[in-house]
Amino acid sequence: MADVVAYLATLPLSTGFDQVSDQESHFENFINADNEPVVAGDTGYRMTQMTHPSLSYEQVWNWQKNVQAGITLFQEKQAAAKKYLGQQGRHYTDEQLTMETITRWNGGAYHSWNPQPNTWERTPEMLCDPATGNVGWDMTKPVNTGKTADDSHQRDKGTYGAMKAGQSDDHAWTYSGVCYADHMVNH
């Protein structure tokens, strides 16, 4: 694990990537007991658990190559986050950039623009389930309005196992990049 952290420190524009790779495949586990790469449910490989684009044989088996492939994608997401947050001369903090980048790694945008105080703010309607990696509830949906995270967790937790098939009008939870980023910084 120390090797991974040290290697990441040598790479530019990788702030926040350590949290992503740690979440997706704990450093110490990315080669399992059989000395084989850790494989995700959809055959995403190793630390970065990337399914698309497909990794080369070398990228799968060489951890430094695997990290570099992930870093390249992370840098793309960070560049996109900078364009989004910095448009029209808008100000953003390093923390906002990290949250926006991590969200975009998983999918979606973390911030929306509030024109009144002229600031970026976390997408306000997404309430996250702290017991999960990236499950949340859109609080604009009537079935979720007024519910606490605990209320909705108790209502929906039995359907999480079915993944997207478990989502319905009555169990209106969703996977969210916003919750993914929140989970990253809080764990």
Partner 1 sequence: MRTIWSTIERAVLVLALGAVTTLATAEEQTPTAVELSGSRLFQQNAHRLYEANATRHEVRLLRVSAAFKHTLASASSIVFPTSHSQVIDGKEFVLVVVNQASSSNPTGFCGVGEEGALYVLELHDLRADPRFSLTVQSCLKTIDLSSDGVKSPYSAISWNESPVGVRVSWQQDAKGNEATRTFRYENGKFVEATQ
Task: Indicate left, alpha or beta for 119 from its phi (over 0: left) and psi (-120 to 50: alpha).
Answer: beta
Q: Which of 24, 129, 156, 182 binds partner 1 (CB under 8 A)?
A: 24
Between 99 and 138, how does the x/- string for binding to partner 1 read (CB under 8 A)?
-----xxxxxx-xxx-x----x--xxx-------xx---x
- DSSP annotation of 78: H
CB of 166 to partner 1, least distance (A): 11
Q: Which of 87, 95, 85 is nearest to 19 (CA)?
A: 95
Q: Does 59 bind partner 1 (CB under 8 A)?
A: no
Sheet holding 173-175, edge to edge: 126-128, 135-138, 173-175
Q: Does 50 bind partner 1 (CB under 8 A)?
A: yes
Angle 94-100-104 from CA coordinates, rounded to 5°? 145
Could you tell me if 48 and 81 are in contact, meaning their C-beta atoms sit under 8 angstroms apart? no
Selected range binding partner 1 among 29-37, 59-67, 75-83, 150-158, rule: CB under 8 A:
75-83
User: Which residues of this protein are in contact with partner 1, per CB under 8 A?
Assistant: 23-24, 40-42, 44, 48-53, 70, 73, 76-77, 79-80, 83-84, 87-88, 104-109, 111-113, 115, 120, 123-125, 133-134, 138, 140-141, 163-164, 169, 174-177, 180
